[in-house]
Chains A and B, each alone.
Chain A
Amino acid sequence: MSQVGTKGNPLRVAIIGAGPTGFYTAEHLFKRKDLVVEIDMYDSLPTPFGLVRAGVAPDHQKIKSVTKVYTRIAQKPGFRFFGNVKFGKDISLEDLQDHYHQIVFCTGAQTDNYLNIPGADLEGHFPATEFVAWYNGHPDFRDLEFDLSQEKVAVIGVGNVAIDVARILCLSRDELEKTDIADYALEALSNSGVKEVYVIGRRGPVQAKFTTPEVKELGELEEADVFTLPEEMELDELSLKELESTADRGTARKVELLQSYAENEPTGKPKQLTLRFLVSPVEMYGDDQGHLTGMKLVKNKLYATDAGTLRPAPTDEFEEMEVGLVFRSIGYRGVPLPDIPFNKSWGVILNEEGRIIDPHTGEPVVGEYTAGWIKRGPSGVIGTNKPDALETVEKMMEDLKTGAYLQPSHPSAADALEMVKEHQPDFFSFQDWEKIDEIEIERGEAVNRPRVKLTTVKEMMEAVGKQTAEPVV
C-alpha cells in the first residue's frame, strides 16, 4: 500500500461547511506540492458559499465576486460538493471516520449573541442575522415574518451587519431592484411603513466597528437622510487620545464623516436614519399582547481597561425610545456540533491552532480539525479566513507526516459517494449548483436584476430535476 497522499493512495479529506473557510482550506490543500488529495465538501444547504450568499448585503455585489475564486477551486479534479447534507442529521462523525483520513469543520457561526435584558423576549425583537438571512433568501429563514408596517425601527449594534440592516430598511424600490435581494423581501421592503431607523452603539464614534465605506454609503441614500447627534459627536479625552495614538487614518476619516452628519438638515426624504452612540438598551417594553412598544436606554461613558481598551460604563442618565421593531446585531455565535468538543463560553470548537482537542486528555483528536469562525470566533472579513485556514492545513500536513491520521475502513471516493447516496439521496452536486446559478441569473436578466434567487429547497430540487416527495395527506 503506497503512502497516503500519493497517487496510489490519495489523502481523503472531508470539509464540513462550504463557506469561504471551507474553500480556502481546500485551496491550501490543493496547492501543496507533492500531495495528492481528494476533497469532499459538505454543506447543509443545497447551495455553497455560506455567508457570501446568505450574509453579504444584496447591494454589495462586488464583495460577492469572491465566489469566482471558490468556483475555480470547486472545478479542480478531486473536488466534490455534497449540498443538502447536514452533519449530525444526514451523516455522523462515524460515517466520516469510516471514509476519510482527515475531517475539517468550517461551519462558521450559525447563531447570534443574546441580549440579556428584561423584555428581550417580546415579539418584535429579532436577531439581525435572521432578518439578513430572510432578505437574502436563505431557505431556513424565508418564511419568517417581520412587521415592516412599524414606523420606528432600531438596530442595536454598530458593526457592518447593523449598518447593512439599517441601509436595507432605507433603500428605495429602485435601489432594491438593482440587487439580488429575495423577491418577496423586495416587495415587503418597498411597501414598508418604516419612517425612522435608529442604529444604537454603546461606545463612541471612534470605537464603532463599521467601516468608512459603509458610513459613506449612508450619506448617499435616495430616500433617507442620515443624522448623528452633535452632543454624541463631541469626543471625550480618552477617545481623542485613542484617535491620535492607536487609530489609523481610516478611523479618523470615519469619525469626520460621522461628525459631518451632525450638521445635516432634513431634505424632505421620506425616511430618517439616525446613528446613536454611547447608549445601551437596558429594558424593552411591550403592550398587553406581548408586542414590543419601546426601549429604555442608559447613557454610557467610556473608561480604559488595564490593557488600554475603551469600554462603556453606564451612567445614571436614561432615555426612552419608542420603537416597534428591533434587530439586535451584537455579534454572531458558534453552535456546537454533535460529538465535537466545544468551548461554550467562547462559542468555538475546542482547538489548538486548528487541531481539535479532547477536553479530558488535552490531546489532539486524531483526524479532526477546524478552521474559520468556529475555530477562532466570528470576526474579521471574508479574506481573514484564508491565513486562518492555512494554519490548520499546516497542522494537517504535520500530522500526515507523522502518521497521525484516521484509518478509514472505506477510503475510496466511490465508497464515500455510496455512503452519501444512502443517507441523503437528494444531495446536490456542484453541477447542480451551477444549474441553479444559471437559472437565477436568467431570471434576473428578465427583470434587469443581477439574479432572482431560488429560496426553497423544493424549488431547487425541481430546478435540477430531482424528484420532490409528495406531501403526506
Chain B
Amino acid sequence: MNVSRILAAKPKNLVTISPGQTIRDALSLLAQFDIGALVVTNEADELVGILSERDIVRRAVVEDDIMLLYVGDVMTKNVVVGVPQDELINVAHTMTERRFRHLPIVEGKHVLGIVSIGDVLKIQRDAYRGQIDTLETQIMADNH
C-alpha cells in the first residue's frame, strides 16, 4: 500500500506559508487549522522548507522575540520528502527512526499534500483490521 492511498481521501486544503511571513502568522495558521506543521513555498509554489511546532519551540527557547522572526529563518530547509509511490511501511519506519511527524508528498518541486504520522497510523490500523477480518472469515468458513 502506498502513500497515494492516504492522499486520495484526505482533505485537500494544503496549508502553506511563505518564507517572508512571520512566526506570529505561522502560529495563527497552526491554531486555526489545528495542525502541527506548515509547508513553506515560494512564489512559484515550490517547496522550500517545512515549519513544524518543534522548530518553533526549539527557537523560542533562545529567542525572546520569536513572534517577529521570519518563517524563512526558523524553518527546516532540508526537508525529507515523499513521492506518491512511497510505501506506507517504509514511510512509517523512516518517520519513527528519524523522529519527524509530517512528510510532504511531492511531484518534482510541487507539493501534492502532506502526510502526518497520525494519517499513517490510521491507515495502517485500517489495513490490519481489514486483513484480520479477511483471515477470520476464511478461517471460520465451512469446509466445502
Q: Could you tell me which A residues sit within 8 Å of B by CB distance?
A: 61-63, 65-66, 68-69, 242, 245-247, 305-311, 343, 346, 348, 351-354, 357, 362, 375-377, 379-388, 391, 450
Knowing A63-B138, A69-B137, A384-B130, the reply to whether A305 touches B83 (Cβ < 8 A) is yes
B134 contacts partner chain A, Cβ-Cβ < 8 Å? yes
Best-surrounded residue of B3, B10, B133 (most CB of chain A within 10 A):
B133
Q: Which residue of B lies closest to A374 (CB)?
A: B8
- Pick from B15-23, B32-40, B58-66, B87-95 the stretch touching chain A: B87-95
B90 touches A308 (CB 8 A): yes
Assembled-state Cα–Cα distance A388/B13 (Å): 21
A383 touches B132 (CB 8 A): yes
- The 29 sampled A-B contact pairs (Cβ below 8 Å) are A65-B138, A65-B142, A66-B134, A69-B137, A242-B90, A246-B89, A246-B92, A306-B81, A306-B82, A307-B3, A307-B103, A308-B86, A309-B2, A309-B87, A309-B90, A343-B8, A346-B8, A351-B9, A354-B9, A362-B12, A376-B9, A379-B5, A383-B134, A383-B137, A384-B126, A384-B129, A384-B130, A387-B129, A388-B126
Q: Which of A247, A379, A386 contacts B2 (CB 8 A)?
A: A379
Best-surrounded residue of A65, A375, A384 (most CB of chain B within 10 A):
A384
Q: Which of B10, B91, B135, B138 contacts A308 (CB 8 A)?
A: B91
B144 contacts partner chain A, Cβ-Cβ < 8 Å? yes
In the bound complex, residues from chain A placing their C-beta under 8 Å from that of B116 are none
A383 touches B129 (CB 8 A): yes
Rank and list the top 6 A-B pairs by shortest CB-CB distance, nearest first.
A384-B130, A65-B141, A383-B133, A383-B134, A387-B126, A383-B130
Assembled-state Cα–Cα distance A351/B3 (Å): 16
B42 contacts partner chain A, Cβ-Cβ < 8 Å? no
Given contact pairs A307-B81, A362-B13, a sample of 13 additional A-B residue pairs in the complex whose CB atoms are under 8 Å apart: A61-B144, A65-B142, A245-B97, A305-B82, A307-B3, A307-B91, A351-B8, A352-B12, A379-B2, A381-B130, A381-B131, A382-B130, A382-B134
Q: Which of A242, A386, A450 contacts B144 (CB 8 A)?
A: A450
Minimum distance in angstroms from B99 CB to a CB of chain A: 14
B108 contacts partner chain A, Cβ-Cβ < 8 Å? no
B28 contacts partner chain A, Cβ-Cβ < 8 Å? no
Assembled-state Cα–Cα distance A375/B137 (Å): 24
Assembled-state Cα–Cα distance A381/B89 (Å): 16
In the bound complex, residues from chain A placing their C-beta under 8 Å from that of B85 are 305, 309, 311
Within 8 A of A (CB), among B62-118: 80-87, 89-94, 97, 103
Knowing A346-B8, A362-B13, A376-B5, the reply to whether A307 touches B137 (Cβ < 8 A) is no
Minimum distance in angstroms from A252 CB to a CB of chain B: 14
Assembled-state Cα–Cα distance A94/B98 (Å): 51
Assembled-state Cα–Cα distance A307/B84 (Å): 11
In the bound complex, residues from chain A placing their C-beta under 8 Å from that of B89 are 246-247
In the bound complex, residues from chain B placing their C-beta under 8 Å from that of A308 are 86, 90-91, 93-94
Assembled-state Cα–Cα distance A305/B85 (Å): 10
Minimum distance in angstroms from B93 CB to a CB of chain A: 4
Knowing A65-B141, A377-B4, the reply to whether A306 touches B80 (Cβ < 8 A) is yes
In the bound complex, residues from chain B placing their C-beta under 8 Å from that of A305 are 82-83, 85-86, 90
Assembled-state Cα–Cα distance A351/B6 (Å): 11
Assembled-state Cα–Cα distance A346/B134 (Å): 26
B127 contacts partner chain A, Cβ-Cβ < 8 Å? yes
Q: Which residue of A lies closest to B79 (CB)?
A: A306
A380 touches B8 (CB 8 A): no
B12 touches A357 (CB 8 A): yes
B8 touches A375 (CB 8 A): yes
Q: Which residue of A lies closest to B106 (CB)?
A: A306
Q: Which residue of B lies closest to A211 (CB)?
A: B131
Q: Which of B83, B92, B134 contacts A381 (CB 8 A)?
A: B134
B127 touches A380 (CB 8 A): yes
In the bound complex, residues from chain A placing their C-beta under 8 Å from that of B126 are 384, 387-388
B91 touches A376 (CB 8 A): no
B130 touches A346 (CB 8 A): no
In the bound complex, residues from chain A placing their C-beta under 8 Å from that of B133 are 383, 386
A383 touches B131 (CB 8 A): yes
B134 touches A307 (CB 8 A): no
B86 touches A62 (CB 8 A): no
A386 touches B130 (CB 8 A): yes
Assembled-state Cα–Cα distance A346/B126 (Å): 20
In the bound complex, residues from chain B placing their C-beta under 8 Å from that of A357 are 12
In the bound complex, residues from chain B placing their C-beta under 8 Å from that of A351 are 8-9
Knowing A69-B137, A246-B93, A384-B131, the reply to whether A307 touches B80 (Cβ < 8 A) is yes
In the bound complex, residues from chain B placing their C-beta under 8 Å from that of A391 are 9
A380 touches B94 (CB 8 A): no
In the bound complex, residues from chain B placing their C-beta under 8 Å from that of A354 are 9
Minimum distance in angstroms from B83 CB to a CB of chain A: 6
Minimum distance in angstroms from A105 CB to a CB of chain B: 13
